[in-house]
Amino acid sequence: LTVETYPNLQRGDYGTLEESDLTRFRSILGDSSVFVDDIEGYNEDQMRKYRGQSQVVLKPKTTSQVSEIVKHCNDRKLAICPQGGNTGLVGGSVPVFDEVVVSLSGMSQIRSFDETSGILKVDAGCILESTDQFLAEKGYIFPLDLGAKGSCQIGGNVATNAGGLRLLRYGSLHGSVLGIEAVLPDGTVFDSMHSLRKDNTGYDLKQLFIGSEGTLGIITGVSVLCPARPKAVNVAFLGVESYEAVQDTFSKAKRELSEILSAFEFMDRESQVVNKKFLKAPHPLAEGSDEIPEYPFYILIETSGSNKEHDDAKLEQFLETSMEDGTILDGTVSQDEAQTRTLWAWREGISEASQIEGGVYKYDVSLPLSKLYDLVIAARERLREANLIGETDEYPVVDPVGYGHVGDGNLHLNVCVRRYTKEVEKVLEPFIYEWISQHHGSISAEHGLGFQKKNYVHYSKSDVEIAMMKDLKRHYDPNGILNPYKYI
């Protein structure tokens, strides 16, 4: 094994894949679910930033198959990288060295749905978007939505405790997930697929798996409480003159749109510039021109309710008064579903657009709202001081862009680069993590720790918390086979 990708990292004391392991895997799964050829896609993340060297990908179809595979790996001390849709943004979903990739994509059955309570039970490999389409036919909605919905899996969403675009309305998965089935590192099946909203009989163990990023167990099933699907959805896309105006608009939206407010997202102008290159379409506020208007900040507000007339009137009133008092300078409201999708694309597309020039360093942070945008300014200044930003090819950095879920105090700072270089990384890290810590934020609001932030968790967690995390990991995974080199 030659490890060029991570020259400073030592491979753990794990077993090495042998022909007899493949024979065992084939006997458990059948030949057609064991892959050794054309597996590059499972070794590389979607940012093309993290790359592993796994030699085998396994695609179990049942929980008992997952259990048998994991038990074999534990007995042989073979490390495992659990993988969902491989849309993760912190390098957690791909192997670091030669870990066995266990992909959940073969487990994609809806197990049951109760049309009265809205409780859904699914295999972990169900794709978020298709699950939501299933729910739409029943008048329900999945309580999570995000740009990667076409590829990410429910198991991956739960493993990362994904936040997404409507956390403001539906809350975190820590609240809506009612039960989990997972295979522990020794192969034991943890069966807690409950459908109870209330259950105060001891520790709420399923919570341990939500956000555990494949380090404590492989999630095979999820039970989740789904809300009724809103009948009326409106989207407004607005231009404002400052970050203060973003905050003012948010305060006002909470007060005046209150129960129908379902998303409040902000974007700086730089993010729109980058997204225009990606979408290759006229900007929603461009009014016939091919330019992006000069507003420094943009806001996307979504309302969802059950009565279109009522919601329209409320939104109209809100926008009218905000234009009158000058908080909002410009705006447009979607007239149909197609336009709703277009407006959302100017927000959702930024994630992928950010790497259009070559690559991106992503920082997904929680901060007090008043400080949220200051981090983008600080990062830009620091890169300028280091002479790393510029318009021509000799500079590695194109520009940082800032956007995110204002409603959740969650900034996405994406430093768009022409190439990945250690120089840029060193200028940004740990600078950004120190800055966040000084301002009492979190170094990961929603994407997780993965490989990217495993050495920086102390900026957000105390020594006691880290010690407890390590204790848990050691207790349940004494051989450290599940997703090593990541998290802690």
Under the rule (CB under 6 A), what is the footprint of ligand FAD? 46, 81-89, 92-93, 104, 124, 146-148, 152-153, 155-157, 159-160, 162-165, 213-214, 218-219, 351-352, 446-447, 450, 483
Write the binding mask 306 to 345 for ligand 2HG: x where contact by CB under 6 A, - elsewhere: ----------------------------------------
Question: Which one of 74, 172, 351, 444 is in contact with ligand 2HG (CB under 6 A)?
Answer: 351
Query: d(Cα 92, Cα 159) in Å, to the nearest integer?
Result: 10
Q: Which of 348, 353, 447 is nearest to 149 (CA)?
A: 348
Name the residue nearer to ligand 2HG (CB basis): 314 or 362.
362
Query: d(Cα 280, Cα 286) in Å, to the nearest integer?
Result: 13
Q: Provide, rounded to whole angstroms, the least separation between the CB of residue 119 and ligand 2HG.
A: 27
Question: Which one of 166, 206, 283, 362 is in contact with ligand 2HG (CB under 6 A)?
Answer: 362
Q: Which of 349, 364, 324 is nearest to 448 (CA)?
A: 364
Query: Which residue has the CB atom at the shortest distance from ligand FAD?
Result: 156
Q: 75 φ, ψ to 5°?
A: -60, -35
Contact in structure between 264 and 255 (CB atoms under 8 Å): no
Write the binding mask 374 to 413 for ligand 2HG: x where contact by CB under 6 A, - elsewhere: --------------------------------------x-
Name the residue nearer to ligand FAD (CB basis): 132 or 446.
446
Name the residue nearer to ligand 2HG (CB basis): 213 or 446.
446
Bridge partners of residue 305, in order along the sequence:
232
The string of DSSP codes covering 340-396 is HHHHHHHHHTHHHHTTTTSEEEEEEEE--GGGTTHHHHHHHHHHHHTT-B-SSTTSS
H helices present in 144-291, as ranges: 154-160, 167-170, 173-176, 206-209, 243-256, 269-279
Query: d(Cα 273, Cα 144) in Å, to the nearest integer?
Result: 27
Q: 404 φ, ψ to 5°?
A: 150, -165
Q: What is the DSSP secondary structure assignment for residue 172, as one 8-state letter?
A: -
Q: Provide, rounded to whole angstroms, the least separation between the CB of residue 348 and ligand 2HG.
A: 6
Does residue 47 bind ligand 2HG (CB under 6 A)? no
Window 82-141: residues binding ligand 2HG (CB under 6 A): 89
Place of tokens 């990945």: 420
Question: Which one of 125, 147, 217, 284 is in contact with ligand 2HG (CB under 6 A)?
Answer: 147
Does residue 414 bind ligand 2HG (CB under 6 A)? yes
Write the binding mask 217 to 256 for ligand 2HG: x where contact by CB under 6 A, - elsewhere: ----------------------------------------
List residues binding ligand 2HG (CB under 6 A).
89, 147, 348, 351, 362, 364, 412, 414, 446
